[in-house]
Structure 1
């Protein structure tokens, strides 16, 4: 059963938790970040059959409430989305006995914006990650301030980025080949000029930038981009036609998931 819980130290914040049948304290942990929309719980449920089949514990924090407007870029000093996730991880570890120090990470759309920024800021917590259809990216560019580059900012003074650490995280980007609707960032044409005018173009440019940085640090590139034919960024079609769940579990766990273990959303 997918459980909906509130944090003990702050009942205004909630998360979803799934424990597979017979799970031990050695169960691997998957963190799924999908935001806090009306379909949040239904979308998370798409991963449950696969989690049950291969024995994965799932945690999905709600990015609603105080962090709703800023979680995509980690949050604000007084309402940090990364701190919220750490609180959820700590509580899940207490409830289940599993080691939540390191985990696999998946984020989609707005959740992907948070997820890739989180792994760049906290690479020691993430074993591997799948980033699907992020709208904007943090480029490995010290000349640009966060969240579009890695130059520190005053509102998050303790948020730092170490390329030699985050380049060690294996990252798979998933992006639909039809995700080409032009979106111009309303604050600055310079950001659009750097990142691109649609999600597919931005994904390609971010991967190229991360690979270039790895080369500059004489490190192997651990990032790849999988372009999914015939879909855009919408969650339902990604699951149905794009085999999203299967792709996530293959990338993060090396597990082959059949159709019966991947819930097909109808919306």
Structure 2
């Protein structure tokens, strides 16, 4: 009996050591070791397609981020600037390509950040959930939120190119739609003029009984933030045919399924719940919802459908 107990203790000890080693190694790899492409010289944007790399955070060299851009030849200071947020594939260059004709036709400077992460399938919170928490559950400061990165890029583009625009518009599809609606809710002081969240697969509801990312229970000043966020111009864009959960990465946890059986249902449910919350609490509500007919989980067609909203508001 003593021999069995000794073997058990040794096995448990080795297991704990292995767990600690994997956890510490994982934390160092994900959050300590510098990552990203090499930072480029701070040059003005070229006409048409271009890219640059800057440090992700203003006061840290821990991470860098590549930013794709497209500037029409006729674009000038004070013309429209649109950030385009990619989906879970983190294919910012593909999203930029989808916006080139739109940029030319509507004289838009397109900025498409690439939130590259080789572990994106496992560390999902670093992008669409805004990086509010580490993978291990500890809180990140506001200066490390993914939402802050957009503001940092905007400052960089303004400074290097002598641009005086005080606001920008933002469009995101799928995981990018998750990013955009959360940024509007949780970073209402951002300089977003019009935001479009298209075909998001999961939403953060104004619910103080659910933990983030499903609700706002564990967020500091969550209710105050979303109250201000409801005053922003946010359009929830859903595809009429985006009713197949097999398309793309679709969260199917119990709490996620309560939001709806597919993205189309979830978008409507989120909008209705948000509108009711605003009404019940006498909060100004400037959000809108629009369903694009005969379109499914297609970032190109949803991008095309977003232009009318960017022109209208």
TM-score class, shorter-chain normalisation, is 0.7 to 0.9
Q: Does residue 247 of structure 1 match 2:294? A: no
- Give me the whole-angstrom Cα distance separating, in 2, the residues matched to 1:81 and 1:232: 27
Stretches of structure 2 that go unaligned for 5 or more consecutive residues are 1-47, 135-139
Paired with 2:205 and 2:181, the residues of 1 have a C-alpha distance of: 10
Q: What CA distance in whole angstroms lies between the structure 1 residues aligned with 2:283 and 2:82?
A: 26
* Aligned-pair Cα RMSD in Å: 2.7
Contact 1:133 1:175 in 2 (8 A): yes
| Cα-to-partner distance string for 1:171-220 (whole Å, 9 max, x where unaligned) | 2222122222247745x413422x11211110010010111122123345
Task: Report whether the alignment pairs 1:163 with 2:163.
Answer: no
TM-score by length of 2: 0.69
Aligned residue in 2 for 1:262: none
Q: Residue 38 and residue 61 in structure 1: after superposition, are their counterparts in 2 closer, same or farther (change >3 A)?
A: closer
- Quick one: distance in 1 between partners of 2:221 and 2:151? 15
Post-superposition shift, 1:98? Answer: 2.1
Report how far residue 48 of structure 1 moved: 2.2
Seen in structure 2, the aligned counterparts of structure 1 residues 15 and 57 have a Cα distance that, compared at 3 Å, is same
Deviations 1:2-39 (A, max 9, x none): 21211157573111122232433212221110147374
1:208 partner SS = helix
Q: Secondary structure at the match of 1:222?
A: coil
Cα deviation, residue 53, structure 1: 3.2
Match of 1:221 among 285, 289, 292: 285
Larger radius of gyration: 2
Deviation larger for 128-137 or 33-42: 33-42
Q: Which deviates the most, 162-171 or 218-227? A: 218-227
Q: Tell me by how many angstroms 1:43 deviates.
A: 2.4
Structure 2 CA distance for aligned equivalents of residues 214 and 98 of structure 1: 36
Residue 4 of structure 1 corresponds to 51
**Structure 1: distance between partners of 2:204 and 2:90:** 27
CA contact (8 A) 2:86 2:175 kept: yes
Report the Cα distance in structure 2 between the residues aligned to 1:4 and 1:158, rounded to whole angstroms.
36
Q: Report the counterpart of residue 151 of structure 1 in structure 2.
A: 217
Q: Which moved more, 1:92-101 or 1:109-118?
A: 92-101
* Distance in 2 (alpha carbons) for counterparts of 1:41 and 1:160: 36
TM-score (norm 1): 0.80
Q: 1:72 Cα shift?
A: 0.9
Of 96, 121, 139 in structure 1, the residue corresponding to residue 161 of structure 2 is 96
Residue of structure 2 in register with 1:42 after alignment? 94
* Partner Cα distance (2:188, 2:90) in 1: 30
SS in 1 for 2:66: strand
Q: Comparing both chains, which one has the higher relative contact order based on Cα–Cα distances under 8 Å and sequence gaps of 6 or more?
A: 1
Look up the match of 1:84: 149
1:177 and 1:230 in contact (8 A); partners too = yes
User: How far off is 1:165 after superposition?
Assistant: 1.0
* Residues matched between the structures, number: 244
Q: 1:136 aligns with which of 171, 177, 202?
A: 202
- My pick for the range that moved more, 245-254 or 103-112, is 245-254
Give the one of 173, 184, 190 matched to 1:119: 184
